[in-house]
Amino acid sequence: MRLESKTALVTGAGSGIGQAVSSHLRREGAKLLLTSRREQLDSAEPEDVYLPGDLNEEEFVTDLASQAAETFGSIDVVVINHGLQASGPLTDMACDDAKDVLHSNLLSAFLVMKHFAPLMPAAGASIVCIGSRLGTVGMSGQVLYSAAKGGLIMLAKGAAIEWAPRNIRVNVLAPGLTVTPVIESSIQRRPDPEAYRRERESQIPLQRLATPAEVADAVLFLASSESSYITGAVLPVDGGYTAF
């Protein structure tokens, strides 16, 4: 029960990594405030508080923070897990699509930090941003996504320094390709799904994709007091992909 008597916000809690993170934090004793775009969240437990909405809208983020203050008084852990994947050649991307990627992966994270940091206790708190391996390395066809996740890393590093005197730790988790429902669906749409899976796995030193539970294990570490002297860090959970 590493998070007993703690409170936590998890964004993007609808499926995949967000659902696994919620399960891990709940198992360790945290009381949860969950959010996603889904009107209903089947994976939520009766004791969880769920508020659906769009984190790109500052009005919704302020409502979410008000709900946290009203329900819990303070928030010990914030897991910023939401985002928007985008792929395709840079020259083919419409400006509005590029703005959506930057808003969903970077500016909305800024809004969550802005409105939830004031609710975090001076006794010690943790913000964990779910970034990506592509925030630290480039990849053809993923230029805007990489730019947004790279910006998220620098947002977290700056916030870690700014809020260190308040004992708020801010770190980034950088997962590699993870078998979430979205990724699995993308693989299955390929002409030869298994060949494509083998190709992607061959690019990873550990020769396999991550599971959401493995990513959630690392989130739990950064959320708990076990990482009490870690802030401003980027922790890869990518099977060695960025070790090259």
241 within domain boundaries:
no
Percent of the chain with pLDDT over 70: 100
120 and 190 belong to one structural domain: no
150 within domain boundaries:
yes
52 and 68 belong to one structural domain: yes
Confidence at residue 161, expressed as pLDDT on a 0 to 100 scale = 98
165 and 183 belong to one structural domain: no
Which of 96-100, 111-115, 227-231 is predicted with the least confidence, judged by mean pLDDT? 96-100
Decide if pLDDT at 63 tops 90. yes
At residue 141, what is the residue type? G
36 and 95 belong to one structural domain: yes
pLDDT tens for 125-139 read 999 999 999 999 999
Number of domains in the chain: 2
244 within domain boundaries:
no
**CATH code assigned at 228:** 3.40.50.720
242 within domain boundaries:
no
Distance from C-alpha of 79 to C-alpha of 18, rounded to nearest angstrom: 9
Mean pLDDT for the stretch of residues 29-56: 96
Report whether 134 contacts 149 (CB < 8 A).
Answer: yes
Mean pLDDT for the stretch of residues 18-26: 97
pTM of the model: 0.96
Report whether 238 contacts 133 (CB < 8 A).
Answer: yes
69 and 23 belong to one structural domain: yes
Confidence at residue 87, expressed as pLDDT on a 0 to 100 scale = 86
1 within domain boundaries:
no
What's the distance, Cα to Cα, between the start and end of the chain in Å? 36
pLDDT band per the 50, 70, 90 thresholds, residue 191:
very high
Decide if pLDDT at 85 tops 90. no
88 and 195 belong to one structural domain: no
Positions annotated as catalytic residues are 145
Decide if pLDDT at 86 tops 90. no
140 and 197 belong to one structural domain: no
36 and 154 belong to one structural domain: yes
126 and 182 belong to one structural domain: no
pLDDT tens for 192-219 read 999 999 999 999 999 999 999 999 999 9
188 and 140 belong to one structural domain: no
Decide if pLDDT at 224 tops 90. yes
Percent of the chain with pLDDT over 90: 94
pLDDT tens for 141-164 read 999 999 999 999 999 999 999 999
Question: Among residues 63, 42, 122, which one has the least CA distance to residue 51?
Answer: 63
Structure tokens given for 191: 């002409």
190 and 159 belong to one structural domain: no
Range of the domain at 191: 177-209
pLDDT averaged over the chain?
A: 96
Helix axes 108-116, 143-163, angle to 10 degrees: 20
- Of how many residues is the chain composed? 244
69 within domain boundaries:
yes
133 and 62 belong to one structural domain: yes
pLDDT band per the 50, 70, 90 thresholds, residue 244:
confident
Confidence at residue 221, expressed as pLDDT on a 0 to 100 scale = 98
